Structure 1
């Protein structure tokens, strides 16, 4: 017989299968290892939630805890058994994940889409249930139209939500991918990415990214910066001419520089 509803019981871990509606696709190995160590020392405080399926159980909520418990070598895990149908299971799992802060924007968008599909809700109704702005729901759903390579960059954190929202406004897929790679390779801010989108494929010369100094000059800058303890920039103008700029961040640094140069600040 099943235990009373909402009463926790210990279930064999090998009898629990994953939730097919789990929106999360990436897991932080370091974070899971930390949780596993905590479980080994103090046990699992918050039970997972499952439903019975045949002679086993299917996870509803708590996959991170289940993964960490397996990693910790536990044979059983505290669980609450709920008697729910497929639709309710999907809704519970999705809402639990949405309420977590560490879902990436694509996972969150996929959760929103599944909820609007399974629950038949409008964006406004879903926003009301989740306590979020409708515009936030809409902006996330637009991310699902991004090219797959761009989605991958958002999933792994190379592009932020702000970058993704800008790229979602680019209808040309090839241009979208090119701009995404540009944003990653040159560490563009969201504002600079917006400028790149507005300028199109041929930005004015004045806006084009500046090339770094030649390797020999860069090595010299690093050496001088290390010796002085202050940022040094060297610009070679050719024919033995150029400019060297030393950046100080306090009057004490300025006085120290003057002393090193044998100058007096009178």
Structure 2
């Protein structure tokens, strides 16, 4: 897999080109102190800015040391600047009570800005499935535009910044088609990733039926059930009553019994083979069952 970030597509030659090294360079604007009121969220920004423990750590760092790494933004046609990287730092500055934040101002295109925005966040450990799904979808669309001009696009390139495989990236792109309430259930663990992939192939009406059925029955969908939902909807046979029936269907109890070899050997002579022992055990179990 090519683990070089796909931001290379935007013709950045090094880390210093992206974030700056504080040294004057021809044709590259230097760090500017921009009023927080002039910094606006990236359109469709998929990553949530939460007042959680991580944010508190960022706040303490900004309070003690200031913003160590400037953000990146681009001018907006309607005035002010659109943040490409630095949404969490901007919020930390607000909480600390600062009025400005150091920023690199660059004239990136929509596609270039989207790729940098995603790659600057996608490697975080605390990203929710819904955030990753939306981010990969946005990056896919941006790289697809560039790919049409540069001779192709692979999903390995798409996941390169986070070191994720093409298969993983494809799953997240599929999941991005889920409705917001279903994405919330994926984030909370109510719906598993593989089940979410199956449900993402359902029509909007069918997704709504699944949502209502889960809310009404508190069902936990198995991979077998999600596959059945996908297949039924593909055939045009899925209805709300069928969704309810499939999700309310009693699931088989999964049990695993391990019997230690030493315990088994105490009942059988050494001359008995494994097949002999198994036949006797099941014969005894059948006799027991018939007497119940």
Summarize deviations over 1:15-65 as a string: whole Å, max 9, x none. Answer: 2222114222x3321232332122112211111111233663221111111
In the alignment, which of 99, 120, 127 is matched to residue 156 of structure 2?
127
Tell me how far apart the structure 1 counterparts of residues 215 and 198 of structure 2 sit (CA, whole Å): 13
Q: Are the equivalent residues in 1 in contact too, given 2:39–2:81 (CA < 8 A)?
A: yes
The answer for unaligned runs of 5 or more in structure 2 is 1-23, 229-244, 255-292
Tell me how far apart the structure 2 counterparts of residues 135 and 147 of structure 1 sit (CA, whole Å): 22
In the alignment, which of 172, 176, 180 is matched to residue 210 of structure 2?
176
Q: Are the equivalent residues in 1 in contact too, given 2:34–2:101 (CA < 8 A)?
A: yes
2:65 aligned with 1:42: yes
Corresponding position of 2:249: 203
Q: Are the equivalent residues in 2 in contact too, given 1:23–1:97 (CA < 8 A)?
A: no
> Aligned in 2, Cα 1:207/1:166: closer, same or farther, shift over 3 Å?
farther
Higher relative contact order (CA 8 A, sep 6+): 2
Corresponding position of 1:253: none
- Secondary structure of the residue aligned to 2:72 is strand
Q: Are the equivalent residues in 2 in contact too, given 1:12–1:76 (CA < 8 A)?
A: yes
Corresponding position of 1:107: 131
Tell me how far apart the structure 2 counterparts of residues 76 and 105 of structure 1 sit (CA, whole Å): 32
Corresponding position of 1:79: 103
> Aligned in 2, Cα 1:8/1:74: closer, same or farther, shift over 3 Å?
same
> Aligned in 2, Cα 1:194/1:48: closer, same or farther, shift over 3 Å?
same
In the alignment, which of 36, 60, 76 is matched to residue 13 of structure 1?
36
- Secondary structure of the residue aligned to 2:222 is helix
Normalized against structure 2, the TM-score is what? 0.56
Tell me how far apart the structure 1 counterparts of residues 86 and 199 of structure 2 sit (CA, whole Å): 33
> Aligned in 2, Cα 1:78/1:158: closer, same or farther, shift over 3 Å?
farther
Q: Structure 1 or 2: larger strand share? A: 1
Tell me how far apart the structure 1 counterparts of residues 69 and 114 of structure 2 sit (CA, whole Å): 20
Summarize deviations over 1:83-102 as a string: whole Å, max 9, x none. Answer: 22233222221222333333
> Aligned in 2, Cα 1:163/1:29: closer, same or farther, shift over 3 Å?
farther
How many residues matched?
A: 200
In the alignment, which of 42, 51, 54 is matched to residue 29 of structure 1?
51
Tell me how far apart the structure 1 counterparts of residues 253 and 189 of structure 2 sit (CA, whole Å): 26
1:211-250 to 2 correspondences below 5 Å: none
Corresponding position of 1:144: 176
Q: Are the equivalent residues in 2 in contact too, given 1:39–1:72 (CA < 8 A)?
A: yes
Q: Are the equivalent residues in 2 in contact too, given 1:91–1:115 (CA < 8 A)?
A: yes
Tell me how far apart the structure 2 counterparts of residues 196 and 112 of structure 1 sit (CA, whole Å): 27
Tell me how far apart the structure 2 counterparts of residues 29 and 16 of structure 1 sit (CA, whole Å): 19
Tell me how far apart the structure 2 counterparts of residues 206 and 19 of structure 1 sit (CA, whole Å): 47
Normalized against structure 1, the TM-score is what? 0.61
Give the CA RMSD over aligned residues.
3.4
